[in-house]
Structure 1
Amino acid sequence: MQTILWNREEVLPRAKHLYESRIRSKIDLEENVGKMVIIDIETGDYKVDENGLHAADYLSAKHPNARLLHLRTGYKLAASLGSVIERFYK
């Protein structure tokens, strides 16, 4: 699979769309509050875990060059990519 280069302006809207359209309804459960959800923004694959590093390792093993975005579930979501921090909701 060819790696897609995403710029900052493309990453967050893509992640928000994936989260809202495919992921939120599956993971928005009481037992997931406070856990991390890691999203591969190219494939839409995701993993929920209490430890974001474990979830990221899982997705990285499936797709070694994945662009991963981290979100904490159950709260107003803040997305981080490297040192970039943006809020989905205000």
Structure 2
Amino acid sequence: MTVRQPRYSKEEFARRGDEIYESQVRSQVEEGNHGKIVAIDIETGAFEVDESEVAACNRLEARYPDAQIWIIRVGSRHVRRFGGRTKKSV
């Protein structure tokens, strides 16, 4: 199994991923996909949407085996949440 090496600094990786999401992907995925994962190849702009990070990444890698993948959750600034949270009162 070949280990893929990052070709960009963390900052450049994040900048490219966010820029592609905002300029090319967001308008295509936002409606009807709230909370789903978007996996984006930061070099080609290709993307996949799924409930599962693994499924989205696997499909993207099947199309682009050398993809540099940035993951974002539709409608959120965070892919995951750590720690507790307060329940909303109804």
Does the TM-score normalized on the shorter chain lie above 0.5? yes
Cα drift, residue 74 of structure 1: 1.4
Give the whole-Å Cα distance in 2 for the aligned partners of 1:36 and 1:4.
21
Residue 83 (structure 2) pairs with residue 78 (structure 1): no
Gaps of 5+ in 2: 81-90
Letter in 2 for 1:58: R
Give the 3-state SS of the residue equivalent to 1:48 in structure 2.
strand
Query: What corresponds to 1:63 in structure 2?
Result: 64
Query: What corresponds to 1:83 in structure 2?
Result: none
Give the whole-Å Cα distance in 1 for the aligned partners of 2:50 and 2:79.
16
Letter in 2 for 1:23: V
Give the 3-state SS of the residue equivalent to 2:24 in structure 1.
helix
Letter in 2 for 1:20: E
Cα drift, residue 78 of structure 1: 2.7
Letter in 2 for 1:78: H
Query: What corresponds to 2:85 in structure 1?
Result: none
CA RMSD of superposed structures (Å) = 1.9
Query: What corresponds to 2:7 in structure 1?
Result: 5
Give the whole-Å Cα distance in 2 for the aligned partners of 1:19 and 1:49.
15
In the TM superposition, structure 1's runs of 4+ consecutive aligned residues that sit over 4 Å from their partners are: none
Give me the identity figure in percent.
Answer: 37
Larger radius of gyration: 2
More strand by share: 1
Give the whole-Å Cα distance in 1 for the aligned partners of 2:14 and 2:34.
21
Letter in 2 for 1:61: A
Give the whole-Å Cα distance in 1 for the aligned partners of 2:34 and 2:11.
28
Cα drift, residue 4 of structure 1: 7.7
